Amino acid sequence: MPKIQLNVGAKLGELRRKLGAAGGMVRRWGHRLKRELRGVGLALKFGGITAVIGAIGSSIRETYRWRKEIAQVNTLLRLPKREFREMRKEVRGVAKELGLGLTDAAKAAYDAISAGIGQNNLKPFLQVAGKSAIAGATDISTAVDALTTVINAYGFETSEASMVSDHLFQIVKDGKITFSELANNISKLAPIAKTAGVSFSDLSAMIATAVKVEKPERAMTALRAMIRDITKQGKDLKTTLVDLKGASLEEIFAAGFSSEAAQGIALLTGNFQTLLAEVNAMESAVGEMGRAFDVMAEDPTQQLRIAMADLRDHGIELGNTVLPNMARSLSWVARVANDAAQGIKNVSKGAAYDATTPLNDKERREIIQEVNDELGTFSLWNSIWQPFRPIHSTAKYYGKASVKADILNNKLKA
């Protein structure tokens, strides 16, 4: 038998030992993982190794994204580990309670903290924002943006978030505007209205009146110009609106107002009785958001979201069990891949340096079969490392592509 075949056989024995050690590592990790899964009572719940592996992979990915997002929150707060764990638990609790996505809740927490919401008020604020999002058919980050814009513009306490949300929902209820549209445009008005001495209740009544007859964005722009021009003239807003009640657009222009400001004034003075009715409605808006949320909470889609959130929360528990061992496990994989790659290199070297005797077709086929048989060891990775498919694919590539290409195609052709 040619010398090269003997050397390849010897080197493949070395590779076999490397892969055998790799298999032992994988099996030990699998046994430890099985014990941990039994500890949290999930092994039987998911049923079957394939389902368990799929659940592990999904849970690890979800946990990774969640922990990454919530860790960003602590870059703002710089809490000690114990307090950070408590804050993380609170955000998770809000997400589970309201059926929100975990990463969505974490991002909302980050936005809230960035906007000045304190750590001690974070949980109740997120609950209000979450309910506002559900009632308004939008995402929690949009609700956070709307609430914090008004809170910061008017200097309200965080505990007044419910009051702000109630007014916003009264606007949505009475005007032709969605919560998302209102949230995206409220920043045009709230700061300037506060500076001009317009109460939030009166501002809400103005918005509700204006959007009954005009597109939200155009209405907001016109109201902003109105407040700016009236303030610039040193006049009182309410007095000006009463004086111009029933006035034509030409008469409003003659009073010294710009085109945009005149449009804003006309939206209110041309619907003066509606404006008065909205002022009264805002005074009794308490609980409006809660009533809207209660309607949505009865909807099957919201109940499904809560069920899915509960399932995701169980997945996070699973991910928290597995994730701490991931770094050590992945270092094992790296070491295994390195050992296997080294064995493959040795096989290639043996073929390269000892190819002194030509091979006939039969001998070539025998070597090909032996190499393929040995590389079949990699199949044991298939049932265990599905969550780590990139690593498995890399090892498999080195094993099959490198050996076949380097040994067979390049080295054995001579």
| Residue 391 in this model has a pLDDT that exceeds 90 | no
Percent of the chain with pLDDT over 70: 61
d(CA 280, CA 223): 20
Per-residue model confidence (pLDDT) at position 302: 87
CATH architecture of 3-52+320-411: Up-down Bundle (1.20)
Q: What mean pLDDT is predicted for residues 123-150?
A: 96
Closest to 204 measured CA to CA, from 286, 111, 138, 140? 286
Per DSSP, 235 falls in state -
271-280, 321-330, 371-380: the lowest-pLDDT one: 371-380
Whether the predicted pLDDT of 407 surpasses 60 = no
d(CA 172, CA 187): 16
Q: How many CA atoms lie within 13 A of 67 on its CB side?
A: 14
pLDDT at 61: 72
Q: What is the pLDDT of residue 311?
A: 72
The pLDDT value given to residue 313: 72
pLDDT of residue 28: 58
**Average of per-residue pLDDT across 238-243:** 92
Please state at what angle helix 102-114 crosses helix 300-322, rounded to 10 degrees.
Answer: 90
pLDDT at 264 over 70: yes
More confident residue, 323 or 180: 180
Within 8 A by CB and 6+ apart from 116, the residues are 148, 151, 152
User: Cα separations (Å) of 288 from 166, 180, 188?
Assistant: 5, 17, 23
Mean pLDDT is highest, among 280-289, 381-390, 395-404, for 280-289
Is the pLDDT reported for residue 319 higher than 70?
no
Largest CA-CA distance found in the chain, in angstroms, rounded: 112
Higher per-residue pLDDT: 329 or 202? 202
What sign does the CA torsion over 232, 238, 239, 245 have?
A: positive
Residue 242 scores a pLDDT above 90: yes
Mean residue pLDDT of the chain comes to 77
Q: What are the angstrom distances between the C-alpha of 233 and each of 39, 236, 256? A: 73, 9, 9
Contacts for 322-325: CB closer than 8 Å, 24+ residues apart: 322/33, 322/36, 322/56, 322/59, 322/60, 322/63, 323/60, 323/63, 323/64, 323/67, 325/29, 325/32, 325/33, 325/36
| 159 and 123 Cβ atoms separated by less than 8 Å | no
Whether this model's pTM surpasses 0.95: no
pLDDT score of 276: 95
pLDDT at 65: 84
Distance CA 10, CA 70 (A): 53
The per-residue pLDDT for 110 is: 96
- Do the beta carbons of residue 264 and residue 225 sit within 8 Å? yes
The residue that leads in pLDDT, 381 or 60, is 60
| pLDDT above 80 for 241 | yes
pLDDT recorded at residue 393: 44
- Residue 395 pLDDT > 90: no
- Does 412 score more than 90 pLDDT? no
Determine the angle formed by the axes of helices 389-396 and 326-353, rounding to 10 degrees.
10
Q: What percent of the chain has pLDDT over 90?
A: 53
What's the pLDDT at 54?
53
Whole-angstrom distance, CA of residue 395 vs CA of residue 340: 8
What pLDDT score was predicted for residue 316? 67
**Confidence band of 303 (pLDDT split at 50, 70, 90):** confident
pLDDT band, residue 57 (cuts 50/70/90)? low
Question: Does position 409 have pLDDT exceeding 80, yes or no?
Answer: no
